[in-house]
Amino acid sequence: MEYSLRELCQLSGVSARTLRYYDEIGLLKPVRVDATRYRYYDDTSIITLQTILFYRALRVPLAEIRHLLCVPLSEQAALLKAHPVSYTHLRAHET
């Protein structure tokens, strides 16, 4: 399924400005941009956005999130542990 920028904003609660910024920095690219420059996203984009929002909740910087998205899921936990702020935040929720 394909979602317009507006639809993705409504589904996720993320602002259009934020999604355009994520596109600009290469964090979340639309699957296509039409002739009128409207951005469109797919189901994989939604999963990626959920992952981005998860890491943002852990206070992981965007540059590190970009790196984490390129790493296999099995290695992401080890990398997260190397990020002291997010790991401390995560540990606080375990107790």
Q: Is the pTM of this model over 0.85?
A: no
Which tens digits make up the pLDDT trace of 30-69?
Answer: 999 999 999 999 999 999 999 999 999 988 899 989 988 9
Give the residue among 50, 62, 51 at the shortest CA–CA distance from 25: 62
Cα dihedral sign for 63, 65, 69, 73? positive
How confident is the model over 75-88, as pLDDT tens digits? 877 777 776 654 45
